[in-house]
């Protein structure tokens, strides 16, 4: 009864203090804090009422058990609340209070679990640390209780034995949980959320603690009633924290967000989920930052999980924008860009759906004369968004430049140039001179006269390529001969199983693609840009006209072609040095005849 009256007195005192505080406060301050004080008062009153009710319940339970709850009414020498009964003879045997074999068996089990976790499930080593801490506490209390028993301090010995018994049971529970969740379920490939493991372990701890208290003769009715009161008080004072905890439980149990998912928060920030904990979720951004998001916020807001679609691979659509003026039709621009993007794979860009280009708008302002384009592609590695977008922009740029389509100049830019015929002629002469100089450095064209090289230079067309682009494809029809003026290319041949093998790597200045142009055969190998490449295309008809004037070039060209063809055959067939020499002689004779037939030079003297 005294506890109940004391609780009611505390409640009345709290209400009186609040009334005095309201009366002493200025009118303006009281009006400003009314809403906040009302909420706080409601929580305080509810907590006090709950505490008073709990005290009354505890007093009632104690009176029913025949024990006075008031320490004034109890003789301090008659009752020792910590004087647990002595262990029975059975408890002193196997797994008993004083059995040293318990320490050895638990230590051996802990070492075995640590070895298994280190071999099969290394990320779970933190749980071994927790079990190790419990074992050290058990060892300490075990030794302390034994020492107290040896010096005949029976009261304190029994209290410490109680703690040792509790730590012993907790260690066993921890080892069983490690065996079940981290080894057995892991071997069965059954994934269990961390929070489920924690809830199961916590429930087992509570049951073990209650069981040990009951075995020690402690009355549990008062403890249960007091626990209910404490739960009410904590629930009222920790509403936000409990909301986050329950949010974490819901997130893991409903399996909506997983560790490793990329999410976009309501603020627009994007990042990868690295941990889902009791109170918050950890999100790491591409900027090397970490965002701590309360779990209640994840449940209360719309969160976008990037790249997720049922039964589909993880990939997120990205946009790259560019502008081209109205001199070029949208269909032409779209075809050029899509051919470049789909012909050769780009790292971290999904093959399906394939990247595509759209014309999504035209300029609406009078000072601009351009169409707005966008490339849409699907990103497979969400952490590499900017580097992948940059690679796509490079591919767009070289594709447009190769097609002779410039990017649009902003409407406010003004270019002034004296573009008279003399100026155009000087620019053309400089370009022709550069092309002739390049042809002079290539063995195949050195025997040509200056006029022949000039004729070839006039028929050359620029053809730039980006890194990784396929310049010529094996088994395709040959329309051009390529003169490499900058960069390096790789010659690859497709063998059995459609596996490509590297034949050679060529640097500038050089020529390739001559075999199909000279014989009319399909391409025998693929040529891929190893770096950013600048080439010139020479049309077959232009080269044919020059070759008719210089038929003696056929022998030189056939020698070069024979050597390259044998290099391809050596990769496919594994020819040795002697076999390659014989094959070069045979191929040269055959190619010489094919070139003469293809260009109609049979009647010419070679």
- Identify the pLDDT of residue 563: 76
- Cα–Cα distance list, 532 to 406, 467, 488 (Å): 18, 5, 8
- Tell whether 283 and 326 lie within a shared domain: no
Are 560 and 582 members of one domain? yes
What pLDDT was estimated at residue 61? 47
Separation CA 246–CA 299 (nearest Å): 10
User: Are 98 and 170 in a shared domain?
Assistant: yes
Q: Do residues 462 and 595 both lie within one domain? A: yes
Q: Which of 282, 306, 330 is the last residue of a domain?
A: 306
* CATH number reported for the structural domain that contains residue 392 in this entry: 3.30.70.100
- The pLDDT of residue 355 is 94
Inside any domain, residue 547: yes
If asked whether residues 322 and 354 sit together in one domain, one would say yes
- Rounded to 5°, the CA angle 463-469-472 comes to 70
Question: Are 160 and 273 part of one and the same domain?
Answer: no
Q: Along the chain (606 residues), what's the average pLDDT of each consecutive run of 10 residues?
A: 41 42 43 46 50 48 46 44 47 48 84 87 82 88 83 79 84 88 83 72 82 70 60 53 60 72 89 83 90 79 84 91 89 92 91 92 74 94 92 93 86 60 80 88 79 86 89 87 91 81 87 79 88 88 77 72 74 71 75 68 51
Asked if residue 549 lies in contact with residue 452, where contact means CB atoms within 8 angstroms, the answer is yes
Domain boundary among 402, 432, 462: 402
Residues 477 and 358 in one domain: no
How far is 57 from 51, CA to CA, in rounded Å? 10
Do 509 and 488 share a structural domain?
yes
Quote the number of domains for the chain: 4
Q: Output the DSSP codes for 331-373.
A: HHHHHHHHHHHHHS--TTB-SSSPPEEEEEEE--STT--EEEE
List, edge to edge, every strand of the sheet that includes 480-486. 460-465, 533-539, 480-486, 510-512
- Number of other residues whose CB lies within 10 A of the CB of residue 538: 24
pTM over 0.75: no
**pLDDT at residue 521, rounded to an integer:** 79
Peptide bond into 545 cis (omega under 30): no
Please write down the long-range contacts of 354-357, taking CB distance under 8 Å and 24 or more positions apart: 355/392, 357/333
Give the model's pLDDT for residue 13. 42
For residue 52, what are the contacts with CB-CB under 8 A and spacing of at least 6? 4, 7, 8, 10, 11
Q: Is 604 contained in some domain?
A: no
| Residue 523 in domain | yes
| 288 in the same domain as 210 | no
Same domain, 163 and 265: no
pLDDT of residue 90: 46
Q: Are 281 and 248 in contact (CB under 8 A)?
A: yes
What CATH code is carried by the domain that includes residue 269? 2.30.30.60
DSSP symbol at 181? I
Domain boundary among 194, 217, 240: 217
Residues 300 and 321 reside in one and the same domain:
no
Q: Is residue 129 domain-shared with residue 203, that is, in the same domain? A: yes
Pairing of strands 370-379, 480-486: unpaired
Whether residue 452 is contained in a domain is answered as yes
Task: Decide if 414 is inside a domain.
Answer: no
C-alpha 321/C-alpha 299 separation (Å) is 35
Confirm whether 222 is domain-assigned: no
**Cβ partners under 8 Å of residue 323, min gap 6:** 370, 371, 372, 373, 407, 408
- Whether 394 is covered by a domain: the verdict is yes
State residue 400's pLDDT score: 93
Range of the domain at 125: 90-217
In a domain, 564, yes or no: yes
For residue 489, the cross-strand partners are: 506, 529
Q: 593: domain CATH number?
A: 2.60.120.10
By CB neighbour count within 10 A (0-12 exposed, 13-18 middle, 19+ buried), where does 527 fall?
buried
């Amino acid at each position: 009864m005294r506890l109940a009256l004391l609780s009611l007195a505390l409640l009345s005192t709290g209400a009186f203090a609040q009334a005095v505080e309201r009366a002493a406060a200025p009118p303006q301050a009281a009006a400003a804090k009314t809403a906040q004080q009302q909420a706080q008062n409601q929580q305080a009153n509810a907590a006090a009422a709950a505490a008073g009710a709990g005290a009354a319940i505890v007093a009632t339970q104690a009176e029913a058990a025949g024990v006075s709850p008031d320490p004034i009414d109890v003789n301090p020498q008659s009752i020792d609340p910590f004087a647990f009964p002595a262990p029975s003879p059975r408890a002193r045997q196997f797994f008993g209070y004083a059995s040293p074999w318990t320490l050895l068996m638990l230590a051996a089990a802990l070492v075995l679990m640590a070895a298994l976790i280190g071999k099969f499930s290394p990320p779970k080593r933190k749980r071994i640390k927790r079990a190790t801490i419990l074992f050290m506490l058990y060892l300490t209390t075990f030794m302390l209780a034994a020492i107290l028993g040896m010096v005949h301090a029976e009261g304190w010995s029994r209290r410490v034995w109680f703690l040792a018994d509790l730590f012993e049971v907790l260690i066993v529970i921890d080892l069983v949980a490690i065996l079940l969740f981290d080894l057995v379920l892991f071997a069965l490939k059954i994934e269990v959320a961390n929070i489920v493991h924690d809830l199961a372990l916590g429930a087992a701890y509570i049951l073990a603690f209650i069981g040990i208290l009951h075995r020690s003769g402690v009355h549990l009715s008062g403890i249960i009633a007091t626990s209910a009161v404490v739960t009410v008080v904590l629930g009222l004072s920790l509403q936000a924290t409990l909301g986050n905890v329950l949010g974490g439980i819901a997130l893991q149990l409903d399996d909506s967000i997983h560790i490793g998912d990329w999410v976009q928060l309501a603020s627009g920030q994007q990042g990868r989920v690295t941990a889902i904990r009791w109170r918050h979720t950890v999100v790491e951004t591409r900027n090397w930052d970490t965002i701590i998001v309360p779990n209640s916020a994840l449940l209360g807001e719309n969160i976008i999980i990037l790249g997720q679609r049922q039964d589909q691979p993880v990939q997120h659509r990205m946009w790259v924008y560019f502008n081209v003026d109205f001199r070029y039709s949208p269909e032409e621009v779209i075809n050029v860009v899509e051919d470049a993007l789909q012909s050769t794979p780009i790292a971290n860009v999904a093959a399906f759906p394939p990247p595509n280009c759209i014309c999504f708008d035209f300029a609406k302002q009078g000072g601009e004369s351009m169409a707005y384009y966008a490339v849409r592609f699907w990103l497979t590695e969400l952490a590499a968004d900017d580097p992948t977008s940059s690679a796509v922009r490079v591919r767009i740029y070289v594709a447009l430049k190769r097609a002779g389509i410039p990017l649009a100049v902003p409407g406010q830019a003004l270019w002034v140039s004296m573009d008279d015929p003399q100026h155009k002629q000087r620019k053309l002469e400089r370009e022709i001179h550069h092309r002739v100089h390049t042809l002079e450095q290539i063995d195949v064209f050195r025997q040509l006269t200056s006029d022949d090289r000039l004729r070839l230079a006039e028929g050359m067309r620029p053809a730039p390529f980006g890194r990784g682009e396929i310049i010529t494809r094996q088994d395709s029809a040959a329309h051009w001969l390529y003169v490499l003026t900058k960069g390096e290319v790789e010659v690859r041949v497709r063998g059995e199983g459609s596996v490509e093998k590297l034949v050679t790597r060529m640097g500038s200045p050089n020529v390739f693609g001559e075999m199909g142009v000279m014989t009319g055969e399909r391409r025998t190998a693929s040529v891929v840009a190893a770096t950013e490449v600048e080439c010139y295309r020479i049309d077959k008809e232009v080269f044919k006209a020059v070759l008719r004037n210089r038929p003696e070039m056929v022998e030189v060209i056939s020698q070069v072609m024979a050597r390259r063809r044998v290099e391809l055959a050596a990769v496919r067939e594994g020819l040795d040095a002697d076999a390659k020499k014989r094959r070069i002689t045979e191929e040269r004779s055959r190619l010489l005849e094919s070139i003469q037939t293809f260009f109609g030079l049979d009647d010419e003297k070679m």
